[in-house]
Structure 1
């Protein structure tokens, strides 16, 4: 599940041939898809994503603070790790993507959810989220600090990147049961699976060199 996206993370030459305009356009489209998925489909239906975004949604619901603040705050230490292990370009692209994501989340926050049908929310939300994240990874960035941490930890232990990511998300989705309820947590897990599959398909097929 994580093979293609991790290959994109650790390959320093990924998308190096792209112009600034093409890279920026791809990142902006990816960020917009993520923001639309979160604010127009998932968050208002009490469905979370995995990783830092999922934690940010939970904290936002508990504290009544905007989730974009938590996304920036919680990703900050992982971006520094990314700078050390994945390079300066990775840091700049990821930071820019996170700033644009926070701005778009703030702008879309007053807009109501476009549907409350759980099947549509899971499918549309998961596909839009996965395509957006896949594009951001393909063009050199990341929105999820937990995957950066998983890459680093996997190099120093016997556990794989996928095992670390699943371990982190197990606790995140388990926490969602206590915050939103069992049904919403199940919907969140289903959405996460759809998003993960879409990310891998995006990286493997659509943007394959």
Structure 2
């Protein structure tokens, strides 16, 4: 490069290494990020996800220890959706909403329909001591989508904001959900806009 790479370049490389499971290069990029931006928890989480996707659980644990030593905690994910002029906020496994029972009934219906079309959850980045049913299917954006579906007329576009990057599993599931329910779903996560429609996403799966 004609210029010295900064945080954005090293971050892009680390993300690419996660996609292609290139651990050695990913570690190199992560170390550069730790030097340039040592208190950004996202870099540590991306490295941890790279290790998890390669089933290197001992190194996943080592990243957790490193974060603890630096006094870093992963940011709590939340999603926002506006319905009838009122903003609603959800966190993972959120059961605080007055319509919780309806929301989780809708989540179960969606999960059943996904299984009927043989959707296979992507669990490479899930820690080995967690399971899909308890964690990924109730991420905040999935709860927000379920709430939006039961609160709006058929065909209404759902618009959601998430403070963190959407996980690969939720991204894949939302693509299919958009086709199953015949809705446009727009999710603005920490990285970019995702416009889901008819089983496709505007990001071209570079989520």
Give the TM-score taking structure 1 as reference length: 0.31
* Bigger proportion of residues as strand: 2
- In terms of Rg, which structure is larger? 2
Larger helix percent? 1
TM-score w.r.t. length of structure 2: 0.31
